[in-house]
Amino acid sequence: MKKYSIVDKIVLSTKIKRIIIFTVFRENWEPYMKKYTEVFQSQFPNLNIDYLLLDTEQIDLDSYLDADIIIIGGGNTEKYIANLC
């Protein structure tokens, strides 16, 4: 029996159209995002990915309700709590 990672399970189980990534601004944050997105982009070439920098943007959660996947990146946990809770 083959073991699957959580990403494998997601990719195999559904059609993914939109991913939202919550993160915080850091120098060179953009290249790091490939760690989150490469596997999805390889399976879904028309994927729409939105990056939200919680420390620099106002977040309107209602505009992201149609996301298939929401990824919360590393960073300052207090900023996520302050913006999302």
User: What residue type is assigned to position 30 of the chain?
Assistant: E
pTM: 0.69
What is the domain extent for residue 30?
6-84
pLDDT of residue 81: 62
- pLDDT at position 1 over 60: no
Report the CATH number that the domain containing residue 11 is assigned in CATH: 3.40.50
Asked, for residue 23, whether it belongs to a domain, the answer is yes
Phi/psi of residue 19, nearest 5 degrees: -125, 135
Q: Could you give the number of structural domains in the chain?
A: 1
Summarised one tens digit per residue, pLDDT across range 14-71 is 688 899 998 888 888 888 888 888 888 888 888 999 998 877 767 777 888 889 888 8
pLDDT of residue 48: 94
pLDDT of residue 56: 73
